[in-house]
Structure 1
Amino acid sequence: MRVHGPTTLSREEWQAQAEAHAARVDVFIEPHLARRADRVKHPVHDFLFTYYSQRPAQLRRWHPGFGVELQDAPEHADLKGYERVGSSATVATSYVASQRPLVEQLHQLLTATAGRAPQLGCFGLHEWAMVYRQSPDQLRHNAWPLRLGSSGTDEVVETHRVACSHFDAFRFFTEPARELNLLQPGRDDRASYEQPGCLHAGMDLYKHAFRLTPMVPSDLVADCFELARDIRVLDMRAAPYDLADLGLDPVRIETPEGKREYAEAQRGFAERGAPLRQALIEQCERLLLRISQPS
């Protein structure tokens, strides 16, 4: 992959892009901030702002990515990862070099995941395994009842094949549910397990993108965020909770019809995530190529 010379954006050009990005993500950020001010929790739409470490203000801030010079940009010049070039600002090559371990790690994980065929037989049972044999007060979203009650929920877990491949979902399984999982993914072997049909692997594209900020363009981060938000809706519609009061009809994965509905949606998200994963892979390769070039 050939690295092109820096692209230069005038202040008028980059401000227009920054304003468009802010308007795009404000559709999601502003309702979250309003709920937070009112101390109202939403089990679906707050997830991307509470589980992941990127704050709303960080998502809202626009970055052009490595190799783009922003003219008359004091707002960016002092941000982490940037350097001044006269009156302009650009992501520093030295910063890119300092991020080599992260870029290599993500490149390995993303390429390994992309190289596997999507597996569509998990049916979202990770959310059920997270509440297996819990009392009502132990539930993570205990403001919302279980559709089938505690015993009915436990029965679904016990009578289904549980095969979660994603460590960050598996680690939240209750202790008695862990031994029921056919796979035992660990913190340090994600590249050996993750596959593109997994909803959490799709949501994590957002995490991988923002961890590469400011080296990758913010439009890619926003694309990954929107995918993750849509996946989260399916994730919770297929969960054991009754969220009808939020206007979310359940995907009844305990039934043959629900399983078909879930797998079809899962396939669609895998197809939608594939080009985003490939874009992140190409960004990592571009950064690694620049790191490997002599100064």
Structure 2
Amino acid sequence: MPETATAVPPTGRAEATLLDRDAWSALEIEHQRRADAFSAAWRARRQTGEAHPVDDFLFTYYPFRPSLLRRWHPGAGVVLEGTVGLDRHEWRWYSRGVGADQAIPAGASRVDARGFLETKSSTVAFIQNLLGRTAARTARFGCFGLHEWAMVYKVEAGAVRHEALPLRLTAAQTDEVVEQNRITCSHFDAFRFFTPEARPANDRQLTRESQPQFEQPGCLHAGMDVYKWAIKLGPLVPGTVLLDSFELARDIRQLDMQASPYDVSAYGLEAVRIETAEGKKAYATLQRRFAERSNALRREIVGIVERARLL
């Protein structure tokens, strides 16, 4: 893609790509159009007070405003010509050309990758390590989305996480699904919502500290989190990568709820009945596709950080 193209010369330093104003403005407009389409329903519901327990998750669990999703960055190593007089010229984490720096012509700007990496060094290192290790790990496809079931195991009536959604089965039948299956959750931010009665049933006891050790690409929640890590890397990540990560999270969220114990038919979603052999097979098939998509993005983001360090 023209907005992310970089080259590594023999010196080992990354060269900058120069975009004129017409080129980068077209990329920005297309990014904003796509981002607006992703958030349109959420923004409309905010005006009416309605809620969507499936789609709203990406704007509530992940505390990032649609305006952040809409903000286009070219990514590290791209110089934007003609930014004088525009708000972008004053954005944080951007360096402005004053004519002395040959890498940034007068009136141009680019992401201050060095400044961002220095200021956010621990965050960037954690994300790079987590994504790299996750992508390199063998994917597991035997969890069957039972994390959502473990979150409602033996809960009292009216105390389920998504109280606006009815359960597909009775409470007793839901508990039976948990008891008759092996729970193999590898994602701490799912495991931490297990009920106290369900936690001992998991095949490992997860902690925040052990997250890089156990996170694996077959996990739906780890795939959704690629969006979180992309947005936390701010201007280093090109807009296309950020929106691809959001789109992946949106698609995964739908399967997550389709395979859950909740009845989501009122939202046009058909249940993936993981309590059956056919449902387990269907879930694992979709899970494999999401693992491929998430790993492609993980590797791309790790590469982005590595190139940014060469600037």
Q: TM-score, normalised by structure 1?
A: 0.94
Distance 2:167 2:139 in 1: 29
CA offsets, 1:105-138, max 9 Å, x none? 1111111111111100000001111111112321
Question: What is aligned with 1:293?
Answer: none
- Structure 1 segment 110-189 matched on structure 2, within 5 A: 110-189=131-210
Question: What is aligned with 1:26?
Answer: 36
- Structure 1 segment 229-244 matched on structure 2, within 5 A: 229-244=250-265
Question: What is aligned with 1:81?
Answer: 93
Q: Secondary structure at the match of 1:191?
A: helix
Question: What is aligned with 2:4?
Answer: none
Question: What is aligned with 2:103?
Answer: none
Cα offset, 1:175, TM superposition:
1.1
Question: What is aligned with 2:236?
Answer: 215
Distance 2:131 2:23 in 1: 32
**Deviates further, 152-161 or 73-82:** 73-82
Question: What is aligned with 1:14?
Answer: 24
Asked if the contact 1:100–1:288 (Cα under 8 Å) also holds between the matched residues in 2, the reply is no
Return the letter of the residue paired with 1:80. Answer: R
Distance 1:287 1:100 in 2: 12
**Deviates further, 265-274 or 164-173:** 265-274
Distance 1:3 1:246 in 2: 51
CA offsets, 1:242-264, max 9 Å, x none? 11111111000000000000001
Percentage of matched positions with identical amino acids = 49
Q: Secondary structure at the match of 1:90?
A: strand
Cα offset, 1:216, TM superposition:
1.4
* Structure 1: gaps (5+ residues): 291-295
**Deviates further, 71-80 or 105-114:** 71-80
Distance 1:219 1:98 in 2: 24
Distance 1:97 1:181 in 2: 39
Distance 1:135 1:284 in 2: 46
Aligned to 1:198, which of 219, 233, 237? 219
Return the letter of the residue paired with 2:92. Answer: K
Q: Is 1:58 matched up with 2:68?
A: yes
Cα offset, 1:15, TM superposition:
1.2
User: In the comparison of the two structures, how many residue pairs are matched?
Assistant: 290
Distance 1:254 1:163, change over 3 A: same
Q: Secondary structure at the match of 2:96?
A: strand
